Amino acid sequence: MEHPTRPSRSSRLHARYGPWALVTGASDGIGRAFAVRLADAGFDLVLVARRRDVLEHLRAELESRGSVRVVTIAVDLGTSEGVRAVLDATTALDVGLLVAAAGFGTSGPFVDAPVEEELGMIDVNCRAVAALAHHFGGRFAKAGRGGLVLMSSLLAFQGVPRAANYAATKAYVQALAEGLAVELAPRGVDVVACAPGPIASGFAARADMKMSMAGTPESVARETLDALGGVRTVRPGLLSKLLELSLAFLPRWGRVRMLGVVMAGMTKHRATPARSLGEGGP
């Protein structure tokens, strides 16, 4: 419960990073949860995803809940044209917060997957994130205020068999966020890496992975926004924290082996690699 004489967390968030927030991967999962929470906090929103019909449905839902403005951009962030469309569409908007939640993952042996999809994952999970963080980080630094939320993962801290390329892309995002947090702090910009564990969303279903005891997208969005400006890496959810603690004392090779066992268990119901093309994964 908020203290009656203090501004709420939502009002502080809006005062620090408003009036506009940009959320990529907003059509479902974690990205959608961020969009809903930011709308409830009073942000006007730019929502980015591939599926125009889903974005428009979300826009109508959010606009019906209050006096927020919502701009939708249906593009593929795996292309340079898609990233440029986002930058062009937001030139005149006072965006103060970027939530880069778009991403996709695969599960299964790396060499058995089509290389085009694995390279496409790098384009979405790494190249697009770098381009957006560079552009908006620069804008925020010039303004002396702003926030970047970059989606890492519990898998980002070691190699992971049967999710090797996905884990590698998230290791890039984790390292980028850690470096940017130090670079941009003196210029008034807050950066947080969000590193969740298993999340109950469409991501796992599309990657054909079975998850138990998974957290929720809503808890990820809440804990991450609460942590922004306070810590540089947040691990939302009790399960994520327990998994991180259980791995912390293992040598790196031990973490690789342990998570390989976990991934094998999550994908043992099938023999062929599966792919997820959704926005916002664990």
For residue 8, how far is the Cα from the chain centroid? 24
Cα separation, 72 vs 32, whole angstroms: 13
- For residue 207, pLDDT beyond 60: no
End-to-end Cα spacing for the chain: 29
The confidence band for 267, taking pLDDT boundaries of 50, 70 and 90, is: low
Cα separation, 275 vs 259, whole angstroms: 19
pLDDT at res. 206:
43
pLDDT at res. 277:
36
- Name the percent of the chain lying above pLDDT 70: 86
* Annotated domain spans of the chain: 12-275
140-160, pLDDT tens digit by residue? 999 999 999 999 999 999 999
- For residue 97, pLDDT beyond 70: yes
217-239, pLDDT tens digit by residue? 999 999 999 999 999 999 987 77
The confidence band for 200, taking pLDDT boundaries of 50, 70 and 90, is: low
For the structural domain made of 12-275, what CATH number should be given?
3.40.50.720
pLDDT at res. 223:
95
pLDDT average, residue stretch 185-201:
90
Q: Which of 17, 166, 172, 268 is catalytic?
A: 166
> Is 166 designated active site?
yes
pLDDT average, residue stretch 193-202:
79
Residue for token pair 């970047």? 148
pLDDT at res. 209:
45
User: For the chain, what is the mean pLDDT?
Assistant: 87
Encoded tokens for 153: 């993962």
For residue 4, cis peptide bond before it (omega within 30 degrees of 0): no
Mean pLDDT is highest, among 75-84, 193-202, 249-258, for 75-84
Q: What is the pTM of this model?
A: 0.87
Burial class (CB in 10 A: 0-12, 13-18, 19+), 122: middle
Q: Which of 170, 172, 210, 241 is catalytic?
A: 170
